[in-house]
């Protein structure tokens, strides 16, 4: 851990972690990440935190990667890493707490509803976070696991990207890095699966899949059909023979701009198109901001 500047994070004592989370009480359990359980807690100064508990069973690489890639990378749309605590056979990552849970809970929870404007603003927040990562001066940071559960919602409905355990940094002057295929089923770029090349377009594909879910309120693969179909294929089929508003989440209750919906639908399909046809995250942000402007007229 010596390669990090001490000023970029704070080492937190094991005692403080246990005190904040009431000894990792089940009442404070809020989720399960790739590499460990997550608990909410409150520090002695009143700050609300999320604590990721990692057991030393092969996931220490994830721990080091998250600390090294996040400790000095700050942006309003990235969950802030506040500190860490490491022991011999376990370690903890301490983050700011986002009180409104994750995007998956809002899209698929029966008693939760996001308005059209909220969906657009959340999309813009995520896109800005990714644009920042992809254009980071010290090298393009590829998240590699963009999905609704990794998009956290703050009290004011500001969205932030979380869980950098799979992230890869591409050195300046290089267009990709080769890596084993990692990520979440349904969100992984098919081209990355084939050639094992990690680059920014890998995240663009995953973001496109999330956009399709934000539009439709559907799971990434519809298992209710006789033959399960990926959401991107469902969208492409609809584009050929129907009206895009058939794709709209029933929870929206028709309360959205049809023009803006069509623009975002088209954008999502371009993100999931073959790599050469995908937009950059800068272009994605511009298209989403245009859709928001149209929706607010």
| Whether the Cβ atoms of residue 248 and residue 262 lie closer than 8 Å to each other | no
Q: Report which secondary-structure segment, H or E, holds 95.
A: strand 90-96
Residue 130: is it exposed, middle or buried by C-beta count within 10 angstroms (0-12/13-18/19+)? buried
Residue closest to 162 by CA, chosen among 87, 69, 231, 91 = 69
How far is 121 from 76, CA to CA, in rounded Å?
Answer: 13
Active site residues: 145
CA distance 125 to 136: 17
The answer to whether the Cα torsion of 250, 255, 259, 261 is positive or negative is negative
């Amino acid at each position: 851990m010596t390669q990090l500047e001490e000023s970029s994070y704070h080492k937190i004592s094991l005692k403080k972690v246990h005190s904040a989370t009431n000894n990792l009480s089940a009442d404070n359990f809020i989720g399960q990440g790739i590499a460990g359980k997550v608990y909410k807690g409150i520090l002695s100064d009143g700050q609300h935190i999320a604590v990721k508990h990692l057991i030393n069973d092969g996931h220490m690489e994830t721990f080091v990667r998250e600390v090294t890639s996040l400790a000095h990378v700050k942006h309003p749309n990235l969950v802030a890493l506040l500190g860490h605590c490491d022991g011999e056979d376990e370690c903890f990552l301490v983050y700011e707490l986002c009180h409104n849970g994750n995007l998956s809970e809002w899209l698929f929870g029966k008693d939760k509803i996001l308005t059209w404007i909220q969906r657009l603003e959340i999309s813009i927040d995520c896109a800005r976070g990714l644009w920042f990562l992809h254009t980071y001066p010290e090298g393009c940071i590829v998240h590699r696991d963009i999905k609704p559960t990794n998009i956290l919602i703050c009290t004011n409905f500001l969205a932030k990207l979380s869980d950098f355990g799979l992230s890869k940094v591409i050195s300046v002057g290089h267009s990709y890095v080769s890596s084993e295929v990692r990520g979440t089923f349904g969100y992984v770029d098919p081209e990355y699966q084939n050639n094992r090349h990690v680059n920014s377009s890998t995240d663009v594909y995953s973001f496109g899949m999330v956009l399709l879910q934000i539009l439709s309120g559907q799971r990434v693969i519809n298992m209710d059909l006789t033959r399960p179909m990926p959401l991107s294929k469902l969208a492409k089929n609809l584009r050929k023979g129907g009206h895009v508003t058939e794709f709209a989440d029933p929870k929206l209750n028709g309360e959205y701009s049809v023009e803006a919906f069509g623009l975002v639908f088209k954008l999502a399909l371009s993100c999931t198109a073959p790599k050469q046809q995908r937009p950059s995250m800068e272009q994605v942000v511009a298209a989403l901001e245009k859709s928001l402007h149209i929706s607010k007229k």
